[in-house]
């Protein structure tokens, strides 16, 4: 018996908890190993363009944090996070209309941890979470890991559709949360109008359902006013997730949750059980940066860079994409959602794309139920405009070849010259 168990690839397969069945590698994680090759134009991962930061400024801040606050920076801290940084977060949240108290802010290790904590506090196995169609792959992984019933709700050109939301609430039992990314959606690139946000909130309030608002991109809009958060309209029925990953530096791993007072305490307890406390060093580094540097000007620089790259992506697709290909036009953020001509499968097409030295994320990664085969996400935040144009040229060529395959054989198929070991949903690292 022991020999039989020992010969298994994974001898512990029978010992895992049921919730571990939902832990699967995401399409994005798998792509980094391939897309990081210098010859591949990656329109896949949403990596912020940190090259736009002055690293000498961060070197100086980090050195002074250690020199002047070293015994604090290198020590355990509060499970809720540094109080000075929590006060500063209120200034940032005010940009999107959120008014709160520092007591209701919880510092997390990135907003991904906030997603995990809120789900842990609110959801039992079998509870339903309503998400947009498509939705952020990292959130889907969290919901699956807690054995939630994930239900996708239709979107239109203004984001989450109110009629579809009402239908989902009337159809599904034990709905604990509505998860939404209202500003510059990942992956769809759409933004809810202020009227649409009011409609979604009213529906949630009528049904007594919590809104979990994920808002990492709202300060990265390219035109018009900064979108006002749903949380700005209701500080009792909405939990707000924010992050410094997109507006300062993702590597510092500092995010935050702004929660109703009652839920705050439970989330803090959940955070303490997960990490004991967030990194004091990262928090003090962010705090000094906010206090000493013109952070709004840095965000403005990011916006200008990303707008230029967005324009390069859209102009190139307009000029090169085959007929029948459509895409969203983001007014901020990092992403455009592309729908391929009829009959094409973005997952099947990916090996050919990699062999043609361009990478994207297949649409199925943004669904919990297998939808999205005809779609893909393109990210324009990291490559420079020239690389984006070359990436679109390569991708358009791949799509044209897939169309030719369908015309010739009736079906599309992966390129036989692509790496046979490549699986977009397996960790290659």
> Is residue 159 scored above 80 in pLDDT?
yes
Residues 144, 286, single domain; the answer is yes
Does residue 134 sit in the same domain as residue 263? yes
Tokens at 202, concatenated: 């009213």
Residues 212 and 173 in one domain: yes
Find tokens 């697709």 and name the residue.
317
* Interval 289-313: pLDDT, tens: 999 999 999 999 999 999 999 999 9
Over the stretch 190-233, which tens digit does the pLDDT of each residue have?
999 999 999 999 999 999 999 999 999 999 999 999 999 999 99
pLDDT exceeds cutoff 70 at 4: no
Domain assignment of residue 33, yes or no? yes
Q: Who has greater pLDDT, 411 or 30?
A: 411
Please tell me the predicted confidence (pLDDT) of residue 428: 26
Q: How far apart are CA 31 and CA 24, in angstroms?
A: 14
For the segment 269-276, the average pLDDT, to the nearest whole number, is: 95
Task: Specify whether the CB–CB gap between 336 and 380 falls below 8 A.
Answer: yes
- How long, in residues, is the chain? 429
Helices 110-122 and 261-275, interaxial angle, to 10°? 110
Helix (H) / strand (E) containing 361: strand 361-362
What's the confidence (pLDDT) of residue 14? 74
* Helix axis angle, 137-145 to 110-122, nearest 10°: 40
Position 366 in a domain: yes
> Count of domains in the chain?
2
**Structural domain includes residue 428:** no
Written as six digits, the tokens of 98 are 């959120």
Residue 319 within a domain: yes
pLDDT at 424: 36
Q: Is the pLDDT reported for residue 410 higher than 90?
A: no
Both 152 and 60 in one domain: the answer is yes
| pLDDT tens for each residue of 116-134 | 999 999 999 999 999 999 9
Q: Are residues 100 and 45 in the same domain?
A: no
CB 369 within 8 A of CB 36: no
Residue 84 has pLDDT above 70, yes or no: yes
303 shares a domain with 186: no
Domain shared by 30 and 170, yes or no: no
Q: Is residue 115 part of a domain?
A: yes
Cis amide linkage into residue 187, ω under 30° from 0: yes
Whether 167 and 207 share a structural domain: yes
Asked if pLDDT for residue 189 goes beyond 80, the answer is: yes
pLDDT for the residue 425: 34
In this prediction, residues 356-374 reach a mean pLDDT of 95
Cβ-based neighbours of 91, under 8 Å, separated by 6 or more: 290
- Examine the domain organization and report whether 38 and 83 are in the same domain: no
Can you give the pLDDT at residue 35? 58
Quick one: average pLDDT of 172-177? Answer: 96
Q: Write down the residue that tokens 């044209």 correspond to.
A: 400
Find the domain containing 136 and state its range.
56-292
pLDDT at 427: 29
| CATH of residue 247 | 3.40.640.10
DSSP state of 36: T
């Amino acid at each position: 018996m022991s020999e039989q168990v020992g010969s298994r690839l994974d001898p512990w397969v029978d010992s895992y908890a049921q919730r571990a069945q939902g832990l699967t590698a995401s399409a994005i994680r798998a792509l980094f190993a391939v897309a990081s090759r210098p010859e591949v134009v990656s329109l896949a991962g949403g990596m912020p363009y940190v090259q736009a930061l002055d690293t000498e400024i961060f070197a100086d801040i980090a050195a002074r944090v250690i020199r002047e606050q070293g015994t604090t920076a290198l020590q355990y801290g509060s499970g809720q996070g540094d109080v000075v940084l929590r006060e500063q977060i209120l200034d940032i949240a005010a940009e999107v209309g959120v008014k709160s108290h520092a007591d209701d802010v919880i510092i997390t290790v990135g907003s991904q941890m906030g997603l995990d904590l809120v789900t842990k506090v609110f959801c039992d196995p079998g509870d339903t979470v309503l998400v947009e169609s498509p939705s952020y792959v990292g959130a889907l992984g969290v919901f699956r890991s807690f054995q939630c019933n994930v239900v996708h709700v239709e979107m239109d050109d203004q984001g989450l559709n109110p009629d579809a939301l009402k239908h989902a609430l009337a159809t599904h039992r034990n709905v604990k949360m509505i998860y939404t990314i209202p500003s510059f959606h990942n992956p769809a690139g759409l933004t809810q109008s202020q009227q649409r946000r009011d409609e979604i909130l009213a529906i949630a309030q009528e049904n007594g359902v919590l809104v979990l608002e994920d808002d990492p991109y709202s300060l990265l809009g390219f035109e018009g006013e900064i979108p006002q958060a749903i949380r700005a309209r209701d500080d009792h029925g909405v939990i707000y997730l924010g992050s410094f990953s997109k507006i300062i530096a993702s590597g510092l791993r500092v995010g935050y949750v702004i929660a109703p007072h009652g839920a705050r305490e439970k989330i803090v307890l959940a955070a303490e059980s997960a990490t004991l406390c967030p990194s004091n060093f990262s928090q003090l580094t962010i705090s000094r940066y906010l206090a000493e540097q013109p952070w709004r000007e840095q965000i403005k620089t990011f916006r200008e860079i990303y707008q230029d790259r967005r324009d390069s992506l859209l102009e190139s697709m307009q000029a090169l994409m085959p007929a029948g290909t459509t895409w969203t036009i983001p007014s901020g953020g990092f992403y455009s959602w592309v729908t391929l001509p009829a009959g094409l499968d973005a997952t099947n097409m990916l090996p050919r794309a990699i062999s043609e030295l361009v990478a994207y994320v297949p649409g199925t990664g943004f669904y919990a139920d297998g939808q999205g085969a005809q779609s893909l996400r393109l990210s324009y935040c990291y490559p420079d405009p020239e690389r984006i144009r070359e990436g679109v040229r390569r991708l358009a060529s791949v799509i044209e070849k897939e169309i030719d395959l369908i015309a010739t054989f009736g079906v599309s198929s992966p390129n036989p010259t692509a790496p046979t070991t490549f699986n977009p949903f397996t960790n290659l690292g």
